[in-house]
């Protein structure tokens, strides 16, 4: 009996080690492959990754956050309503700015003033959400938040600090932090391997810098290439090779997609993403079950529609997608703060 138990325990240990090794190999293969493709053909790699993964990763991200939504909001009702309402307002105002820029409805100086005002509102909203979060159990003593935010707002107006560009590079890495929390909950033995892999990310960026720092600017003979370069900051960080900027951004985006499409569904959801009966919100509420079911189907239709629009007019669809994607970026803030 004792020998049988020892054998089973050893088998379980060997199984866990094999899965941990598989996780490390898969993650490193994704990182190496992404760095090579991003450094070799950044524009094409960016086009392909956004086409394939932009819609599915948003759908899976939404599904993940639903699984972390409590069954009853209770005292958190005000926090979540403020979070979702603020996210919708910030995203809608950005969409107005985007449309006004595309249609040249405003003078450049007026538009830039409004954009700085929007950036300030985004930062202040983060501080307000942090303030609300600090008052919820378990309470947090985040007295440094407001001084930091006020300093950033001042820098926006004094030295034209571009928070939007910073988010372009910071946002892909938010998924790493969420994955680390999921590993801590369900796969703690995997975390040292994951931390080692995360430590390698700056090394990949340095390798891209070594390879592309002196590379000539990417050819922007068409509007799409120009948009991709501008999105990576080529028009702002003029002293840095656009080749390096696009390659770095595309590399980080591919890792971001890998986390949301493969790692978090496998580790964090534990059930098929279309299985909504396990969600806390729907377990005891037929109304929420119906609403979320309809919304999940509508979201899946949106993913298919997005692919169709990419095939019809990739450039326009990409521009609209990244304008609308501001909502999912700012909507992550309440969940990230709740997880702290």
Provide the residue ranges of all domains of the chain, joining segments of one domain with +.
55-339
pLDDT at 16: 57
Residue among 252, 52, 57, 54 nearest 172 (CA): 252
Query: What's the DSSP call for residue 305?
Result: H
Q: CB-based burial of residue 275 (10 Å sphere; 0-12 exposed, 13-18 middle, 19+ buried)?
A: exposed
pLDDT at 13: 54
Looking at residues 39-56, what average pLDDT do you find?
94
| Range list of H helices, the chain | 2-40, 42-67, 77-102, 108-134, 145-158, 163-186, 191-212, 223-231, 242-258, 264, 286-312, 314-339
Check whether 172 has a pLDDT greater than 60: yes
| pTM of this structure | 0.89
pLDDT at 9: 47
Of 26-40, 44-58, 69-83, the least confident: 69-83
Give the number of residues written for the chain: 340
Check whether 7 has a pLDDT greater than 50: no
**For the range 229-235, what are the long-range contacts, defined as Cβ-Cβ under 8 Å and sequence gap of 24 or more?**
231/168, 231/322, 232/168, 233/162, 233/165, 233/168
pLDDT at 214: 87
Residue with tokens 């990576």: 232
- Render pLDDT for 195-219 as a digit per residue (tens, 0 to 9): 999 999 999 999 999 999 888 888 8
Check whether 318 has a pLDDT greater than 90: yes
pLDDT at 8: 53
- Render pLDDT for 112-169 as a digit per residue (tens, 0 to 9): 999 999 999 999 999 999 888 888 777 888 888 999 999 999 999 998 888 888 988 9
pLDDT at 333: 84
pLDDT at 10: 47
Check whether 85 has a pLDDT greater than 50: yes
Average pLDDT, whole number, for the chain?
86
Report which secondary-structure segment, H or E, holds 55.
helix 42-67
- Render pLDDT for 266-304 as a digit per residue (tens, 0 to 9): 887 777 777 777 777 777 777 877 888 888 888 889 999
């Amino acid at each position: 009996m004792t020998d049988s138990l020892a054998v089973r325990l050893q088998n379980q240990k060997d199984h866990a080690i094999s899965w941990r090794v598989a996780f490390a190999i898969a993650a490193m293969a994704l990182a190496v492959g992404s760095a090579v493709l991003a450094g070799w053909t950044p524009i094409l790699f960016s086009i392909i990754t956004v086409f394939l993964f932009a819609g599915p990763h948003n759908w899976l991200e939404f599904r993940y956050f639903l699984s972390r939504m409590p069954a009853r909001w209770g005292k958190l009702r005000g926090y979540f309503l403020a979070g979702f309402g603020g996210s919708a307002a910030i995203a809608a105002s950005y969409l107005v700015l985007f449309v006004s820029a595309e249609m040249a409805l405003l003078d450049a100086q007026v538009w830039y003033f409004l954009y700085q005002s929007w950036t300030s509102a985004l930062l202040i909203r983060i501080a307000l959400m942090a303030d609300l979060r600090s008052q919820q159990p378990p309470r947090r003593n985040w007295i440094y938040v407001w001084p930091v935010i006020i300093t950033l707002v001042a820098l926006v107006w004094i030295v034209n600090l571009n928070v939007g560009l910073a988010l372009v590079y910071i946002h892909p890495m938010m998924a790493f932090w969420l994955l680390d929390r999921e590993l801590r909950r369900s796969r703690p033995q995997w975390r040292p391997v994951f931390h080692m892999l995360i430590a390698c990310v700056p090394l990949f960026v340095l390798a891209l810098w070594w390879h592309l720092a002196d590379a000539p600017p990417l050819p922007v003979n068409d509007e799409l290439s120009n948009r991709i370069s501008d999105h990576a900051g080529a028009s702002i960080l003029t002293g840095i090779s656009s080749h390096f900027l696009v390659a770095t951004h595309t590399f980080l985006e591919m890792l971001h997609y890998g986390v949301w499409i493969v790692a978090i569904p496998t580790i964090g959801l534990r059930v098929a993403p279309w299985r909504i009966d396990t969600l806390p919100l729907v377990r005891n509420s037929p109304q929420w079950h119906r609403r979320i079911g309809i919304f999940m189907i509508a979201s899946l239709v949106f993913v298919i529609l997005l692919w169709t629009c990419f095939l019809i007019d990739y450039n326009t669809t990409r521009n609209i997608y990244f304008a609308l994607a501001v909502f999912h970026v700012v909507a992550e803030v309440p969940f990230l703060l709740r997880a702290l």
